[in-house]
């Protein structure tokens, strides 16, 4: 008498196996409503930090030019480029924060309705 193999789940992955693994490990997220920054949320800490970094970048640029380091070679050039990069990155961050707050204030209803 011949015996048959016991039935078991297939080792072939289902069509959603890759997606399920991504969700398990946190690489993919389920569709959710986009999180918006409410207009009441204070972003003063980020703004102050960005302004300090921008001011330090400007001071670095001024010092690079006035001390003559910019004409001394590669060090002055790299200091100039780093200061421009840091100032640009944090200026862009301030612009994005201002744009988000402006967009959030436009989307809230007028009159303070609850």
Those residues with Cβ within 8 angstroms of residue 47's Cβ, 6 or more apart along the chain or in another chain? 94, 97
DSSP per residue, 3-38: PPPPP---SSPPTTHHHHHHHHHTSS----PPP---
Question: What pLDDT score was predicted for residue 103?
Answer: 85
Average pLDDT over every residue of 63-82: 93
Confidence band of 51 (pLDDT split at 50, 70, 90) = very high
50 near 87, Cβ under 8 Å? no
36 or 98: which leads in pLDDT = 98
Q: Which residues contact 100 (CB under 8 A, 6 or more apart)?
A: 37
pTM (2 d.p.): 0.57
**pLDDT at position 38, please?**
58
- For residues 74 and 104, the model is more confident at 74
Which one is predicted more confidently, 95 or 102? Answer: 95
Per-residue pLDDT reduced to its tens digit, 57-72: 999 999 999 999 999 8
């Amino acid at each position: 008498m011949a015996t048959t193999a016991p039935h078991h789940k297939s080792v072939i992955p289902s069509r959603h196996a890759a997606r399920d693994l991504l969700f398990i490990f946190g690489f993919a997220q389920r569709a959710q409503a986009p999180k918006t920054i409410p207009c009441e949320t204070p972003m003063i800490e980020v703004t102050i930090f960005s302004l300090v970094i921008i001011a330090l970048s400007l001071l670095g640029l001024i010092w690079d030019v006035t001390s003559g380091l910019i004409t001394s070679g590669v060090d002055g050039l790299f200091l100039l480029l780093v200061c421009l990069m840091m100032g640009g990155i944090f200026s862009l961050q301030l612009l994005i924060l201002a744009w988000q707050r402006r967009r959030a204030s436009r989307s809230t209803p007028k009159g303070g309705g609850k």
